[in-house]
Amino acid sequence: MATKLTLHAVKAAKPRERRYTIWDSELKGFGLRVNADGSKSYALKYLFHGHQRWHTIGKHGSPWTPDTARNEALRLLAQARNGIDPEEAKRAKASAELTVADLCDLYIEAAYAGQVLTKFDEPKKASTLATDESRILRHIKPLLGDRRIRDVTTDDIEAFLHNVAAGKTAVNVKTGRHGRAIVEGGRGSATRTVGLLGGIFAFAIRKRLRIDNPVRGVQRFKDGRNERYLSGAEMARLGTVLKASDEAWAAFEKEQVAWSHVGRRRQAPTPPHEAENRVATDAIRLLLLTGMRKSEVLQLQWRHVDADNGYLRLPTSKTGAKAVPIGTAALTFLLSLPRLAGNPYVFPGSVNGRHFVGLPKAWERIRARAELTDVRLHDLRHSFGATSASSGNSLPLLGAILGHRDPNTTQRYAHIARDPVRTAANQIAELIATSLDAGITPTDRASNAPPAQSKRVRSKRSPAVASSPLAKR
């Protein structure tokens, strides 16, 4: 039943278990919404092109009183009669004032709610979102955050690209008691951040906050992804360092046991400089032997190990659930690792029930001792791929082993893959060169070549990772 909305009527309206509306008797469609928490707001129900719409005018209180809200309702009805939807106009006005920083916040909120999907139609992983947030905080907000999204142009995005590449957002700041953010910029960061911006503006289009994407058409730098692979000599050096570390760590553990037996009366032993936690060195070995990602190795649990079939069945990874095939050497090594009672992880941490977390710092020390200061942990995965490609395995097969869902990702190893035409050319050139040195004709040499030639070709093949010192514990 309708009644004239006055200040007295508004004050007399009491909250109920559910929200209800008091309709105004003087203006059809104008009413007061009374919420269960006692708050009150003025609203208008109207028809636009035959469809019923709702528009919230505002909460009761300055500037909205029954009279001012009724006048606003009259204005909105006149607007609707002139072909302008009041609710769409309100949304357009709000989006017109929305800044890039506001849009980024909406994007991240939606991504954490699983509403932003990857190219594989899956929600973004937490690790990916953490990287997105870092790029937004360190690059996008400082340079574009206060710009209204409707004003951002392709020229602005191009300027942003070059500013990040030039290091304009470079920073080195303390981020907590023990943390530090070191942002250097560069072409790679610029290209990947502009790619993120493209996704953010695509999200704005889906939310009808903008009709076009200003990132489209911007020529980005080629993403020079790191393609660092370990050579045979470098693998041998790494294997030597890992072995020395394990021996030093074993000696340290014996000292700890002896110290405990004497009642811990003297000073506790400390690990020598070359010793790293055995969990860290074992994790590094498995990274090389399987080509898995760091997160996949550290989060590996014993229940994921399918020893009978030679697979690691991961419930989640960067590309979703997957089965990782592992060779005999890797499986033998894996099954030789000790298990910690009460901890499900293959590489247990110091906190009960958690996995190991100190691998990055341990790797920094190990790679320095192995003189591999430019090698990242992820490059161990690349080294596995490079060894496989150079051994003659096809790229599709390698992609299946590494868990690549996008064939283009595996193409980085294409220049390493064994080319049968190039192999034949090498064999012919070696035959002629050897003949010239011996002073005989290539035809004469060919009749005696097969045994020696075959031996030379085999000796040039990259050694299998399984037979390297890295697999020995």
Domains of the chain: 7-96 (3.30.160.390), 100-206 (1.10.150), 232-413 (1.10.443.10)
| Residue position matching structure tokens 């599709």 | 396
- Residues ≥6 apart with Cβ < 8 Å to 401: 291, 324, 325, 388
Query: In this predicted structure, which of 6-20, 61-75, 162-176, 315-329 has the lowest mean pLDDT?
Result: 315-329
- Mean pLDDT, to the nearest integer, of 382-399? 62
Alpha-carbon 118 to chain mean position = 11
Radius of gyration over alpha carbons of the chain, in Å? 33
Strands 30-34 and 20-23: antiparallel
Q: What is the pLDDT of residue 467?
A: 43
Q: 63 preceded by cis ω (within 30°)?
A: yes
- In whole angstroms, give the CA distance from residue 394 to residue 186: 34
Query: In this predicted structure, which of 88-102, 137-151, 238-252 has the lowest mean pLDDT?
Result: 88-102
Instruction: Count other Cβ atoms within 10 Å, centred on residue 442.
Output: 14
Q: What is the pLDDT of residue 403?
A: 55
Strands 40-48 and 30-34: antiparallel
More confident site: 94 or 257: 257
CB 184 within 8 A of CB 170: yes
CB 193 within 8 A of CB 135: yes
Q: Considering only CA atoms, which of 339, 377, 93 is closest in space to residue 238?
A: 377
Tell me the pLDDT band of 431, cut-offs 50, 70 and 90: low
Q: What is the pLDDT of residue 452?
A: 40
Tell me the pLDDT band of 317, cut-offs 50, 70 and 90: confident
Residue 191, pLDDT above cutoff 80? yes
| Residue position matching structure tokens 């849009």 | 103
Query: In this predicted structure, which of 14-18, 52-56, 175-179, 237-241 has the lowest mean pLDDT?
Result: 175-179
Tell me the pLDDT band of 22, cut-offs 50, 70 and 90: very high
Collapsing DSSP to helix, strand or coil, 6 comes out as: coil
pLDDT digits over 99-117, tens only? 999 999 999 999 999 999 8
267: exposed, middle or buried (Cβ count in 10 Å: 0-12, 13-18, 19+): exposed
Residue 337, pLDDT above cutoff 50? yes
The encoded tokens of residue 227 equal: 């393609």
Residue 234, pLDDT above cutoff 50? yes
Tell me the pLDDT band of 32, cut-offs 50, 70 and 90: very high
CB 159 within 8 A of CB 144: no
Q: Is the Cα dihedral 283, 285, 290, 293 positive or negative?
A: positive
Residue 349, pLDDT above cutoff 70? yes
Q: What is the pLDDT of residue 149?
A: 93
CB 272 within 8 A of CB 245: no
Pure H helices in 262-358: 278-290, 294-298, 328-335
pLDDT digits over 113-142, tens only? 999 988 767 888 888 899 999 999 999 999
Tell me the pLDDT band of 459, cut-offs 50, 70 and 90: very low
| Total-model pTM | 0.56
More confident site: 268 or 465: 268
| Residue position matching structure tokens 């496989």 | 388
